[in-house]
């Protein structure tokens, strides 16, 4: 159970490690222990990492809940791939100086689409389950 969600959780964890590494490398090379020390590049890296950390747990929970309610595997894969691509696009767009807004906005659009579709799927599956158990 949860094999599909586990697969995307693992891929997203690897991406998160990469984003964390970007922050750590900058901190070490500039000897910044706390905060951003007024360094715009470090702040940008920190925001990419934080934005990822803000959206990813909810997306994975929604995928896991949908998978536990037997959402069609092909739809889970579409949502997982779309979320992963969205997070990569967003990270790439925000990491650039100057920012590449088309990647940033495309990444956020995919992220919100996945969250919305996954939320709607969970609601539909939950209501369907409640109606059949009455």
Long-range residue pairs from 16-22, CB within 8 A, at least 24 positions apart, any chain: 16/49, 16/52, 16/53, 16/56, 19/45, 19/48, 19/49, 19/52, 19/91, 20/49, 22/48, 22/49, 22/95
How does pLDDT run across 20-31, given as a tens digit for each residue? 999 999 999 999
Q: What is the C-alpha end-to-end distance of the chain, expressed in Å?
A: 26
Are 48 and 21 a contacting pair, CB within 8 Å?
A: no
Annotated domain spans of the chain: 3-132
CATH for 3-132 (2.40.128.50, 1.20.120.550, 3.40.430.10, 1.20.120.530): 1.20.120.550
Q: Along the 134 residues of the chain, how does pLDDT read in single tens digits?
A: 789 999 999 999 999 999 999 999 999 999 999 999 999 999 999 999 999 999 999 999 999 999 999 999 999 999 999 999 999 999 999 998 888 899 999 999 999 999 999 999 999 999 998 888 76
């Amino acid at each position: 159970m949860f094999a599909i969600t586990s697969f995307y959780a693992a891929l997203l964890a690897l991406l998160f490690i990469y984003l964390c590494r970007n922050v750590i490398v900058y901190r070490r090379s500039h000897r910044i222990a706390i905060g951003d020390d007024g360094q715009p590049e470090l702040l940008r890296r920190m925001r990419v990492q934080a934005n990822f950390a803000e959206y990813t747990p909810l997306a994975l929970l929604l995928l896991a809940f949908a998978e536990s309610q037997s959402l069609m595997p092909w739809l889970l894969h579409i949502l997982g791939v779309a979320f992963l691509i969205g997070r990569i696009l967003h990270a790439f767009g925000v990491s650039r100086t100057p920012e590449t807004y088309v990647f940033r906005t495309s990444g956020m659009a995919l992220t919100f689409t996945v969250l919305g579709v996954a939320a709607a799927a969970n609601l539909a599956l939950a209501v369907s389950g409640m109606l059949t158990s009455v």
